[in-house]
Amino acid sequence: MSKYPSTSFSARSSEEALEKAEKIGYPVMVRVSFNLGGRGSTVAWDRESLRSSIDRALSQSYIGEVLVEKYLHHWKELEFEVMRDSKGNSAVIACVENLDPMGVHTGESIVITPCQTLDNKELQEMRSLSTMVAKSIDLVGECNVQFALSPKDYTTYVIETNPRMSRSSALASKATGYPLAYVSAKLALGYTLDEVLNKVSGATCACFEPSLDYVVIKIPRWDLQKFEEVETSLGTEMKSVGEVMSIGRSFEEALQKAVRMLDLGEPGVVGGRTYHSTLSKEQALELLRTRKPYWPLYAAKAFKEGASLEEVYNSTGIDKFFLKKLENLVKTYESLKGSRLDSRKLLELKKLGFSDEQISKGIGVSEDKVFKTRLEHGVLPKVKLIDTLAGEWPAVTNYLYMTYVGQEDDIELSSTGNRLLIVGAGGFRIGVSVEFDWGVVSLMQAALKYFDDVTILNYNPETVSTDWDVARKLYFDEISVERVLDIVNKERYTYVATFAGGQLGNNIARELEEKGVRLLGSSGKSVDKAEDREKFSSLLDSLGIKQPPWVSATDMDQVRKFVESVGFPVLLRPSYVLSGSSMRVIWNWKGLEEFVKVARLSTKYPIVVSKFLENAYEAEVDGVE
């Protein structure tokens, strides 16, 4: 497995840890025994940094123990999901590759399955080692085995194994269509792999290892911007609050989908606010070196500003295979300037995951023009079915995604009957958790009594609504006006429900209605009147309902004049936000100037400034009409 001697030791005191670190040589990695989410772990580059952090690490361990290991700087990290029954039969269900190198917790990493950069020797060696690890611990059920792989040679280390269901298990299940928890339960009851039926195919047994004809990418979601003076760099401890999962037929398609799913206001990897920001090449590379969240956006910006592949690699340690894909997206986007909008070009861009918004910005035409041109030329996505075995066996579930890399739809589309599409809540973040998913699933269960067909659209692998055996039909895809229109145009849904999944549905309700989609419940116009703070404040004024003095501002001068008239403190609130995102109480001019810089005021993104009422009571009333 390795030509190197052991580079991992346990320690139960700070003195022992320092002694073991000297034997290994710095930098070292400190990991805490019996812990979750990398809590207490750290990378120490010298004796002093280890001395300052080791006591905290020891205090986080249930048994007062840490592992001191050689830090494998810029090595690749991979994970294999393994099933094993009581008779010793085993199956490797998924190979998951971290795009981020060692040093970033796997829960914080962008990951892809199937693995993309392994040759057959590496794949087969780690596959064999995975089953050996499962056998060595006498596993019955499911485990994941994590590996470190040298980028220079075939040297491989086993990092750890988790003999339980984990966050990665949920992702692997949704990515492959293999129900890990269900099969694990059966194996625990004494069944063997060949006796457990694959619920997706309805014909094969659980001993069939999944084969994918698509790629899946997971990107974590952080809400670190809501905390002042917080360390935002990624490391060995988890900070993310959720994740999104995208499915596509190419790396570029899946990655750009995933970036849009994050709900950051970015239309994809390129063409958004970060891409067109004032960041210089050096600033972008520094953000990459310090491992700030959402690194693909900064990598694309660095390439745009002239960074070489080698410079970006040295700043990140990310395999050049993936970086070349990002560089190609940048080159493709830059080539759009002044180009013609024809069907061939459109299809090429769509296969690379470009949204209509990205294309419109790149070429310099309206988004509506791009959409209409697509319809005229028949450049439309195909509906594909996840069957776990790359089409070798048909699936009995409607577990679907959309892609432009395909020749035909995998299912027979129906456009008759009373039919409903329910928009889900997307990825978890502060303010969005299981309560919204409960609302989505509850609506689905109630709607089945009144509709002939009920479908869910969502992309969070951690939710019940994306279990393919819960929803009779599931689109595991992005939630956007463009995608909802694609699905509605394909399947002719009678109604679309945007009210059950929280803010994402409300954000697109008005535009969907304007484009001819029938909404279930409140109209898009009503939603907009309530969500747009300027419109709602104007409505209160027209009804004679009291509210604090307010103004809708699009620039700093308007904000300043209002504050001078009412005085501090003031409350600054953008429209269409959840959990108080970007909302702030401001007490002085310095705080006001700092906030406005971050808020990026414009005619497109105005903000409502209200007099903040100190020591006022707050009450909330829920009602149904």
Domain that holds residue 488: 382-530
Q: Is there a domain that residue 431 lies in?
A: yes
Q: Is there a domain that residue 345 lies in?
A: no
The torsion angle over the Cα atoms of residues 224, 228, 230 and 234, rounded to 10 degrees, is 30
Mean pLDDT of 215-242: 88
Q: Is there a domain that residue 362 lies in?
A: no
502 and 435 part of one domain: yes
433 and 396 part of one domain: yes
421 and 481 part of one domain: yes
Q: Is there a domain that residue 512 lies in?
A: yes
Q: Which of 264, 299, 334 is the last residue of a domain?
A: 334
CATH of residue 265's domain is: 1.10.1030
pLDDT of residue 395: 67
Nearest to 171 by CA among 104, 77, 244: 244
Residue 355 has pLDDT above 50, yes or no: yes
End-to-end Cα spacing for the chain: 66
317 and 235 part of one domain: yes
402 and 506 part of one domain: yes
81 and 200 part of one domain: yes
Count up the domains in the chain and report the number: 5
Q: Is there a domain that residue 122 lies in?
A: yes
Residue 281 has pLDDT above 60, yes or no: yes
Structure tokens given for 480: 């956007």
Q: Is there a domain that residue 352 lies in?
A: no
Q: Which of 163, 179, 212 is the last residue of a domain?
A: 212
Q: Is there a domain that residue 448 lies in?
A: yes
Residue 128 has pLDDT above 80, yes or no: yes
Q: Which of 479, 506, 530 is the last residue of a domain?
A: 530
Structure tokens given for 396: 């009995």
Residue 305 has pLDDT above 90, yes or no: yes
- Please state, in angstroms and rounded to a whole number, the distance separating the CA atoms of residues 233 and 576: 28
Per DSSP (E only), the strands in 188-338 are 215-221, 242-248
518 and 387 part of one domain: yes
- Contacts with 61 (C-beta within 8 Å, 6 or more apart), sequence order: 32, 33, 34, 35, 40
394 and 479 part of one domain: yes
- Is residue 170 within 8 A of residue 427, CB to CB? The reply is no
473 and 516 part of one domain: yes
Per DSSP (E only), the strands in 427-559 are 453-458, 473-476, 495-497, 550-553
Categorize the per-residue pLDDT at 60 as very low, low, confident or very high, splitting at 50, 70 and 90. Answer: confident
134 and 240 part of one domain: no
pLDDT tens-digit profile of 4-54?
A: 445 788 889 988 888 888 888 888 888 887 777 677 788 888 888 888 888
pLDDT of residue 139: 96
CB contact burial 194-218 (16+ within 10 A = b; e otherwise)? eebebbbbeeeebbbbbebebbbbb
Q: Is the pTM higher than 0.85? A: yes
255 and 297 part of one domain: yes
180 and 95 part of one domain: yes
Residue 263 has pLDDT above 80, yes or no: yes
